[in-house]
Amino acid sequence: MKKHLNSRRDFIKQTSIGIAATGILSKWYPFASKITSSASEKVQFGFITDLHHGLCKGAIDRLQIFLDEASSKSLDFIMQGGDFCFSEPAAQECVDLWNTYAGEKYHVLGNHDMDKGSKEDIMKLWGMKEKYYSFDKGDFHFVILDGNYIKKDGEYVDYGHANFYIDQEKRSLFSPEQIEWLKQDLAGTEKQTVIISHQALDEIWDGWSSPSRFEIREVIDEANNNFEFQKVIACFCGHHHVDEHSIINDVHYFQMNSASYYWAGKGFGSDGPMAMYTKPLYAFITISPDGKIKIEGKKGDFVSPSPKEKGHPDAPRLSASISSVDTRFEHK
């Protein structure tokens, strides 16, 4: 996982406390009068994103492998980060398999989940009650956002039936109502917060991140500046099918790789435009209130011929992996 530091303060902090180059989640604890390191308050969860059932061959097998390993662990929950499946009858096998997991399960809406139906259709299929929401686990607060809006005639419109293939500046948006909700949600929690969205909020890939990222980051910065301790500590996304890490105003931004493939484009993929991964990619993440973070990521290879073998211009930035890390974050 490549790391990008976006401030001198970030660089000093990372080098001084020895954070590994692939560190996932930098934890602070806002508001709280006392921090304990009780093991019962740590959070452990499984994360998989961009499975693309209905598009990728073997998606069910990839999901099964993830769920089998998740079921063998003592996790607080599992989460899929979007682009999970279409809202069509053939996707029922994917949803049914997901629901065999006995523990808590959470969904994030992705753009391609609305390729063949409305946002309401996919939410009904998944049993998802809200487009965006939040919940607490242990010492941490989790916020799930929905970046699947387009701007049409001055209005914010839900993705649906693949209506999002328009100019970049008019899609991958977060609605004003949602941004206001985020302000209120962050103001109402006394816990350190992790934000998860499908689309990126960082600056890693030019032209790819959500045009609303500046508004979201303004809310994050405001929350962090108004409290004694940093409230928002990390943001996770999928969508881009890469393994990257950046730091902006002391907040960690992680792009989590697809479970299945990288969209290499015509002439560059091992399966049409898709550069498939030999193994399913996913991660198990542990966040501890005493400042310990452990990420167990999965590594594979590209199915040959790889993007590098085919001369893809971005090949040096691509990998069939999610990096593992064992690191620390600053806490009170």
Helix (H, G, I), strand (E, B) or coil at 209: coil
Q: What is the pLDDT of residue 294?
A: 83
Residues 6+ apart with CB under 8 A from 167: none
Does 37 score more than 70 pLDDT?
no
CATH assignment of 2-328, among 3.40.640.10, 3.60.21.10, 3.90.380.10, 1.20.1260.10: 3.60.21.10
- Mean pLDDT for the stretch of residues 258-262: 98
CA-CA distance, 267 to 17, in Å (whole number)? 44
Helix (H, G, I), strand (E, B) or coil at 96: helix
CA-CA distance, 43 to 73, in Å (whole number)? 12
DSSP 8-state class, residue 256: P
CA-CA distance, 15 to 21, in Å (whole number)? 10
CA nearest 276: which of 116, 45, 58? 58
Helix (H, G, I), strand (E, B) or coil at 61: helix
Q: What is the pLDDT of residue 64?
A: 98
List, as one string, the DSSP characters of 230-246: -SEEEEEE-SS---EEE
- Mean pLDDT for the stretch of residues 91-115: 98
Does 53 score more than 90 pLDDT?
yes
Among 24-33, 115-124, 129-138, the least confident range: 24-33
Does 250 score more than 90 pLDDT?
no
Predicted model pTM: 0.88
Q: What is the pLDDT of residue 329?
A: 67
Residues 6+ apart with CB under 8 A from 87: 113, 114, 116, 117, 118, 121, 122, 124, 125
Digit-coded pLDDT (tens) for 271-328: 999 999 999 999 999 988 887 778 899 999 999 999 999 999 999 999 999 998 777 6
Does 331 score more than 80 pLDDT?
no
Query: Average pLDDT of the chain?
Result: 88
